[in-house]
Amino acid sequence: MLPWEAMASVDSRPLRPALLVVDDDSAVVRFIERALRSDYEVTSCSDAKGAMLAVSQARRPFDVVLCDVNLPGTNGLELVKRLRSTVPSLAHNAVLMTGGGVGLDDAVDDAIARAGGDALRRLDKPFTLDDLRAAVRPRPLSRISNDDAAST
């Protein structure tokens, strides 16, 4: 096979959705990476600073962000808000993971309500593999727009 033929075959493969995982629990991150690496291009980091760096250095925009609410430093709610305003593809494809906590459940629910429709989703820990896959499945913008229009 000639070099350009190899490049053509690589380029013709469909791109997997790019998933940004932000969680300071390495066991959770490893589980998500193993569970989704065949279907997603997974990038992971443990805090908001790492997430913003990953976004700025990414070869292409992320399709979905899966972020723990309880992070060291900047919490997940604030990080997702920043990411959604910085990366247009994440405006309708963000998932907040929460294990619960004092005041966090209400804050997550409020953020989801303010986002409208299904633009911001919630994944409660512990979760099943099916729950994880359903939560991170990217939603096309046209479907979200139609869902939002139908709910008004």
Say yes or no to pLDDT of 14 above 80: no
Tell me, what's the pLDDT at 149? 40
Q: H-helix or E-strand containing 45?
A: strand 41-45
Contact 32, 42 (CB under 8 A): yes
The rounded percent of the chain whose pLDDT value lies above 70 is 78
Tell me, what's the pLDDT at 130? 96
Tell me, what's the pLDDT at 142? 42
CA distances from 7 to 12, 40, 81, 95 (A): 9, 21, 38, 34
Tell me, what's the pLDDT at 19? 96
Average pLDDT, the chain: 82
Task: Read off the pLDDT band of 10 (50, 70, 90).
Answer: low
Contacts of 87 (CB under 8 A, 6+ apart): 55, 61, 62, 65
Average confidence (pLDDT) over 109-138 = 86
Query: What single string gives the DSSP state of each residue in 75-142?
Result: -HHHHHHHHHHH-GGGTT-EEEEE---TTHHHHHHHHHHHH-TTSEEEEESS--HHHHHHHH----HH
Q: What are the boundaries of each domain within the chain?
A: 15-151
pLDDT digits (tens, 9 = 90+) for 44-95: 999 999 999 999 999 999 999 999 998 999 988 899 989 888 887 788 899 9
pLDDT digits (tens, 9 = 90+) for 22-45: 999 999 999 999 999 999 999 999
Region 15-151: CATH code: 3.40.50.2300
Q: What pairs with residue 66 in β-bridges?
A: 21, 95
